Amino acid sequence: MSDKPEKFIDENGLRLDGRRVDEIRPMKMEIGVLSRADGSCYLEWGKNKVLAAVYGPRELHPRRLQKADSVLIRYRYNMAAFSVEDRIRPGPSRRSIEISKVSREAFEPVVLTHLYPGAVIDVFAEVLQADAGTRTAAINAACVALADAGIPMKGLVSACAVGKVDGQLVLDLNKPEDNYGDADIPMAMTSDGEITLVQMDGDVTPEEFKKAIEMCKEGCRQIMEIQKETLRSKFTKLEDVDISDD
């Protein structure tokens, strides 16, 4: 692991990777990348690489797990063994189980769960390369994969972290900021601005926390535009298909 940098923000207000404090890392997404999944999305965000796959709605077995009045949503966040510098031990860990739970709760509120009683929707997020912010990256990709699968939703959910370095709040932490910063606050929100996930590592003042929410809202607005553009690209691709008889 690299050493703690002396300064995270230079005299011009730029961060170690050249971003302003309120700027997110470059993000690109591709939809429908897996032919066997009902919906899928590949996301690159900075150096993070995440693949999300959705299966369902389909009948849930064993039947005793079925919910009478809604669909069951299962979400598995997983880091590939090769996704970080040191190999990660395969299989669930305390960290991945916790992330899977809070991330599912972050996007579940927008899914119209009552439409598929007794069924299950399985969502898998595989982190192929990790570089800080993987839980939020996985939520962003999973929501696009859900939409790709045709799951009825009230809207999208977008996620981003705000942190604190050199006494200043910064949007979308990079790896050194995540490792050595004073705070890391991952959040997720719906298109209506309803917050569905807040976690906090480190300390901020109540005023800083309010500002962090505002910064995060702006970051999520930008991410939602990229998510929508990715979804639109699916239909542009369909328009390009020649369906004439000759």
Residues of this chain that interact with ligand ADP (CB under 6 A) are 84, 86, 88, 130-135, 178, 184, 186
CA 145 vs CA 132, 154, 174, 183, 210: distances in Å: 21, 15, 25, 30, 31
Buried b vs exposed e over 174-204: b needs ≥16 C-beta within 10 Å?
bbbbbeebbbbbbbbbbbeeeebbbeeeeeb
CB of 90 to ligand ADP, least distance (A): 12
CB of 86 to ligand ADP, least distance (A): 6
Shortest Cβ 79–ligand ADP spacing (Å)? 7
Q: Which is nearer to ligand ADP, 6 or 86 (CB)?
A: 86
Taking the complex as a whole, how short is the minimal distance between the CB of residue 167 and ligand ADP, in angstroms? 20
Considering the complex, state which of residue 7 and residue 87 has its C-beta at the smaller distance from ligand ADP: 87
Terminal CA-to-CA distance of the chain, rounded, Å?
Answer: 60
Nearer to ligand ADP, 174 or 190 (CB): 174
Give 71 or 139: the residue with its C-beta nearer to ligand ADP: 139
Run of H or E residues at 196: strand 195-198
